[in-house]
Structure 1
Amino acid sequence: MSEQGTGMVRAADEQQTREQALVEQVVASFDHAQDARLKQLMQALTRHLHAFLREVRLTEEEWKAAIEFLTAAGHITDDKRQEFILLSDVLGASMQTIAINNEVYANATEATVLGPFFVEGSPGIPLGGDISFGAAGQPCWVEGTVTGTDGRPVPGARIEVWEADEDGFYDVQYDDDRTAARGHLFTDEMGGYRFWGITPTPYPIPHDGPVGALLAAAGRSPMRASHLHFDVRADGKRTLITHIFVRGDELLTRDAVFGVKDSLIYDFVQHPAGTPTPDGRDLANRSWASVRFDIVLAPAHRARNPFGRQESVNGQCG
């Protein structure tokens, strides 16, 4: 081997040694973390982050662009929009975390992403009530039961539901402080529930910010398959955050946030104008849809927050 070749090998070896030494130094800096789980998380994050940097040989210009991207995501985030949840969603990190924390258990209903438009304080409605509150869309009757994996009804389960209107917007995306197409109700003594909503339609996730720019650069669509959100909670049961999707939607195989699961695809049956409704509601000669979604909750289990607080798995708020 030539002297030049030998020098290049020597330089490469020295470079690798220096880079590895830095990894070990940063990993060791977390050795004295008081919480063992926090130590595990930060040391694993450090190793994986540095492995990524070294694999792709990140340039300083690319590092600066990444910092600017995250800064922009922070600036656009407010009490109605969570760009970091959106970023997690489009990277599949949300779905992977959900998969890890909602292990298959008997016949329990599968979980999926929370999404960026959940907000606290939705209005309560009675059984058979209407969550649309004037949102545009075809009326849709939703009913079902909530049971445990043993088949026993779960009375008093709290069901939170929210969805976009027929134009593809959630209430918080409007500037008039409306509350529409969201609400909560409780199951009856037999675990039954029922309410009026609107038939889900496809819509794009917000793509006027940094996450949208990322999708455009990657040649990816921002569109989500038609869906209705559910958050179901009951004492002694694992919290379920999920959607149901409309069978036949052409976007089922290319949902922007990877949220579709076969078990969550349902038939939304169309009823012509004039067809009697389940509760006798007069729809003024409009067509309507209906769907039945029977929910099965797994038993509760708990996870330890690395920052010291005990909390239920899948209790994320957006």
Structure 2
Amino acid sequence: MDFDEHTALDAVLASFADTPDPRQRQILDAVTRHLHALVRELRPTTDEWESAVGFLTAVGRMCDDTRQEFVLLSDVLGVSMLVETMNGDAHGTAGTVLGPFHMTESPRRELGDSIDEVGTGTPCVITGTVTDPDGTPVPGAVIDVWQCDENGFYDVQRPDIQPPGNGRGLFHADDEGRFRLRTVVPSHYPIPTDGPVGRLLEASRRHPYRPAHIHVIVTAPGFQSLTTHMFVADSPYIDSDAVFAVKQDLVRDFTESTDAAEAERHGVTLPFRHAHFPIHLVRSGNAS
């Protein structure tokens, strides 16, 4: 059979016929069908196709131990949030994107410790509880948090200014599912624009900004892992996140406090901001 525009799809699909894993064959078939349909719809020139391959090659070359450009591409195209939304459970806290900066292991810290090792931003206290959807505490749940500083940079972006692990912490909830930590209020910031994803945003006249947020991953035996954000309510770009990750249930008030007794109890200076983040985990195997 000659390989031409009319036989191309059938020829490639037939080549996958002996794939032993059914799910793998389903994925290969679907990707091939949609990719061929896209090419037939757009009818790219050879130069345009080479440009597309060059773009993906450039994305790959931007990936290293501290930068994941493919995650960034997935984020700005809304695919990361689509996958999160499709796999979420309506009974638990909403999930969001992992983001490209969860590339460094968070240092283990005790409840109440500060993840800020620089001390130049607005002091902030984060408290929360981890429960199942019915409100039953999840003791010992592991809470992994990471954030940018008050200038919008993660530790891996400015290692000459921020020590490794700044803005990161791995905490364990107490017997009642409670956790608390000290930090600084994070800033809104642009996603990295010095690579191919940045050029894509520029070409489409999209801004690169994310509203201020704290990343959170929560795990516990018997429960589904949760990857989510805690968004600062009054942050710029809360309604136009470059990676489409904002969900209203995740937006929290970072309330200013001038209570001297509370400041002393938490070990922060006045004035400080406080936010509370209740987290609901869904048990493993629970149907959405």
Q: Classify the TM-score, shorter chain.
A: over 0.9
CA distance change for structure 1 residues 217 and 250 in 2, over 3 Å: closer, same or farther?
same
Structure 1 residue 178: deviation in Å?
A: 2.5
Offset at 1:136? 3.7
- Secondary structure at 1:215's aligned position in 2? helix
SS of match in other structure, 2:7: helix
Which one of 80, 84, 100 corresponds to residue 116 of structure 1? 100
- Which residue is equivalent to 2:154? 170
Distance 1:44 1:278, change over 3 A: farther
Structure 1 pair 20/281, CA: closer, same or farther in 2 (3 Å)? same
- The whole-number CA distance in structure 2 between the counterparts of 1:136 and 1:205 is 22
Instruction: Select the residue among 126, 142, 148 that pairs with 2:132.
Output: 148
**2:43 matched to 1:53?**
no
CA change 1:280–1:49 in 2 (3 A) is closer
Other-structure match for 2:169: 183
Structure 1 stretches lacking a partner, 5+ long: 1-16, 303-318
* CA displacement at 1:248 relative to structure 2: 2.6
Does the 8 A contact of 2:208 with 2:242 survive in 1? yes
Alignment of 1:87-106 (within 5 A): 87-104=73-90, 106=91
Whether 1:259 and 2:241 are equivalent positions in the alignment is no
Tell me whether 266-275 or 94-103 shows the greater mean CA deviation: 266-275
The residue identity in structure 2 corresponding to 1:163 is Q
Identity %: 44
1: CA distance between counterparts of 2:246 and 2:216? Answer: 14
Equivalent pair of 2:151/2:186 in contact (CA under 8 Å): no
Question: Could you tell me which amino acid in structure 2 is paired with residue 116 of structure 1?
Answer: P
Q: Does 1:293 align with 2:277?
A: yes
- Residues paired across the two proteins, number: 282
* Greater Cα radius of gyration, structure 1 or 2: 1
Aligned ranges 1:163-242 → 2 under 5 Å: 163-176=147-160, 178-242=164-228
Tell me, in whole angstroms, the C-alpha distance in 1 between the residues paired with 2:104 and 2:159: 18
AA matched with 2:43: R
| Equivalent position SS for 1:258 | coil
**Alignment match of 2:70 (pick from 84, 87, 97):** 84
Q: Report the Cα distance in structure 2 between the residues aligned to 1:170 and 1:191, rounded to whole angstroms.
A: 28
Which region of structure 1 is more displaced relative to structure 2, 135-144 or 147-156? 135-144
SS at match of 2:179: strand
Give the partner amino acid of 1:190.
Answer: E
User: Which moves more between the two structures, 249-258 or 44-53?
Assistant: 249-258
Q: TM-score, normalised by structure 1?
A: 0.85
Larger displacement relative to structure 2 (41-50 or 117-126): 117-126
Distance in 2 (CA, whole Å) between partners of 1:42 and 1:135 is 50
SS across alignment from 2:86: helix
**2:155, 2:167 within 8 Å by CA — same for their partners in 1?**
yes
Match of 1:31 among 13, 17, 39: 17
User: What displacement does 1:31 show?
Assistant: 1.1
Contact preservation (8 Å) 2:150, 2:186: yes
Kindly report the root-mean-square deviation, in angstroms, between the aligned alpha carbons of the 2 structures: 1.8
For 1:44, what is the secondary structure of its paired residue?
helix
**Residue 151 of structure 1: CA displacement?**
1.5
Q: 1:135 to 1:31 in 2, by over 3 A?
A: farther
Q: Provide Cα deviations, 1:195-246, integer angstroms capped at 9, x if missing partner.
A: 1011121000001111001100000000001111000000010100000111
Amino acid at match of 2:228: T
Residues 133 and 280, structure 2, Cα contact 8 Å, conserved in 1? yes
Question: What amino acid is the match of 2:185?
Answer: T
Return the offset for 1:21.
1.1
1:132 to 116, 126, 145: 116
C-alpha distance in 1 between matches for 2:18 and 2:102: 37
CA contact (8 A) 2:112 2:266 kept: no
Verify the 8 A CA contact 2:216 2:229 in the aligned structure 1: yes
Per-residue CA shift, 1:60-91, capped at 9, x if unaligned? 11111111111111112110000000000000
Unaligned ranges ≥5, structure 2: none
Contact 1:145 1:294 in 2 (8 A): yes
| CA displacement at 1:137 relative to structure 2 | 1.9
CA contact (8 A) 2:89 2:282 kept: no
Q: Select the residue among 140, 145, 149 that pairs with 1:161.
A: 145
Q: Give the counterpart letter for 1:174 in structure 2.
A: R
Q: Deviations over 1:67-117 (max 9, x none)?
A: 11111111121100000000000001101111122232x2x1000000000
